[in-house]
Structure 1
Amino acid sequence: MRRNRLFHQNDTEEAQIDLTPMLDIVFIMLIFFIVSTSFVQESGVKVERPVASTGSKQNQTAQLVGISESGQIWLNHQRIDIRLLSSSLNQIKATQPRLAVIIEADKRSTTGELIKVIDVLRQAGIPYRVATQKSSVN
């Protein structure tokens, strides 16, 4: 009789699921997604991009060079003189050999400033793209 009582007590206990391994996996996945996410960089100046119907989305991460409405040039959230742009980009290129640049020029900025920046990039041998907004009219 005593033996039946012991077995009977064990049968009434409910099995519990250990959630610790599942939580470990969830946290590891969370860390993976945070680390692997590419964050949007900004040039440091608010620009209104011109509209282009042939624009396409670029997934490559790149340095952003901004040209404000007044013709100021920005790199890494700092205003920079056009004469220093080449040396600054070459320093970045030393640490990032596959450096590419996206030029964010305000649509009200002068073409002359854009051409100066493009000229510096060509002389440094750095590939570049000009950022635009996709046209809403197709």
Structure 2
Amino acid sequence: MRSVFVHRDERPREQVPMTPMIDIVFLLLIFFVCASAGQIRESVLATELAAGGEASEELPDREPPLLGQLWLHLRREADERTIVEFNNPQYGQAFDDFDRLRGRLLELAAVAREMPVILEIAPDVPMGDMIRVYDICRQADFETIQFAAEMPGLPESRG
């Protein structure tokens, strides 16, 4: 009769240390999170999906968003009024009334809030008026509001 022989392996099984692999995965995760942090969010995609399995025959007409930059030039008049001028006449003329300016900026933001707003402020404009125009732009919900600054040694350029 044969005896049943159970083979016991006294050597420990070779194990792969997990700690270095976990460290590498963690570092890759941090890398991809940091690399994607500076990406521009795409908010204007003209895509409307049909519900269910229905095929859509007619695509909705969408007006293309206004491109370019909206420059607001703030200057001081001789009668101590602050005037705000747009860089493009189709956006409006010069405004000396902040309520009318607010209305125009709300209309523009409703159409293209991704359009960057750049404030160019003359040196004699009071700080309060500059902050008021900045606040109006924030209330209109523009995505980007920037301040124009001259770089020494370069010629002046306007948008």
TM-score after normalising by structure 1: 0.49
Name whichever structure is richer in strand by fraction. 1
* Structure of higher CA gyration radius: 2
Using the size of structure 2 for normalisation, the TM-score is 0.43
Q: Which has the higher contact order (CA 8 A, sep 6+)?
A: 1
